Structure 1
Amino acid sequence: MNSPKDQAILAQNLQAPVRKLKMKFTFQHDNDPKHRSKSTKAWLHQKKINILVWPSQSPDLNPTEHLWVDLKRAVHRRCPRNLTDLESFCKEEWANIATSRCAMLIDSYPKRLSAVIKPKGASTKY
């Protein structure tokens, strides 16, 4: 993926839902080159999207990353034999992720973020 594709995804999936909610937010993304590009930074600035400052060597606290790990483990347990199996298993296992798991990840975010900030760069369990 490149910066223009990333910006198109952000335009489609970030702005419209937030506008409907009419809420102020701070966007978090990692330090992937497409996120750090001049054009993406300019696009975000133009759209007045606040960005969470994210150090390059920080733990990944994005709740979605935990869901990807859950999905990967669940699909791996089913041993897909081909691409069709893989696609089918991914869709089924994604649908099986409990909403309580999502809620727990969101609810625990402030605690995890504080645990990372507190040691001022020292290691954490995250």
Structure 2
Amino acid sequence: MRNKILWSDETKIELFGLNAKHHVWRKPGTIPTVKHGGGSIILWGFFSAAGTWRLVRIEGKMNRAKYREILDENLLQNAQDLRMGQRFTLQQDNNPKHTAKTMQEWLQDKSLNVLEWLSQSLNLNPIKHLWRDRKIAVQ
């Protein structure tokens, strides 16, 4: 069964701040700043035993409409490209945008199986380890 699970999630990568290190020469007393945004990106992606697929950069606020759009444009085609067949299981956490009624209806219309997931168990998702590696890579 594990070979047929698509582990999915979104993450925010801070380009300036907690998960980014920059080494530059500065005159003493100057402080770097980021004004008007631009200091982070939000990505969605998934992996399976068959491999990973391209990351999707999320423009604007991530909400249930944006999440549905991302799945519409990426999930089924990417699963097909990875030769997952029609009978794969999608893993997603219990974020409200994932569990919204409109999302449940969309998943049902597409006849997608969804792995039951415990609330407050974000660190159990193996994709969190991949996100950590990506965040380290941009440092």
TM-score range, shorter chain: 0.5 to 0.7
Matched to 1:2, the amino acid is: N
Matched, 1:44 2:107: yes
Shift in CA distance, 23/38, structure 1 to aligned 2, threshold 3 Å: closer
Find the aligned partners of 2:135 and 2:101 in 1 and give their Cα distance: 33
Query: Residue 13 of structure 1 is aligned with which of 63, 70, 74?
Result: 74
Shift in CA distance, 23/45, structure 1 to aligned 2, threshold 3 Å: closer
Q: What residue is the counterpart of 1:99 in the other structure? A: none
TM-score (norm 1): 0.53
The residue correspondences of 1:36-115 to structure 2 (distance < 5 A) are 36-76=99-139
Matched to 1:51, the amino acid is: V
Shift in CA distance, 17/57, structure 1 to aligned 2, threshold 3 Å: same
TM-score (norm 2): 0.49
The root-mean-square deviation of aligned C-alpha atoms, in Å, is 1.8
Shift in CA distance, 16/57, structure 1 to aligned 2, threshold 3 Å: same
Q: 1:23 Cα deviation (Å)? A: 4.3
Highest RCO, 1 vs 2 (Cα 8 Å, sep ≥ 6): 2
Secondary structure at the aligned position of 2:120 is classed as coil
The answer to which structure has the higher helix fraction is: 1
Shift in CA distance, 59/33, structure 1 to aligned 2, threshold 3 Å: closer
Q: What residue is the counterpart of 1:4 in the other structure? A: 65
- Moved runs in structure 1, 4+ residues, more than 4 A? none
Query: Residue 31 of structure 1 is aligned with which of 80, 83, 94?
Result: 94
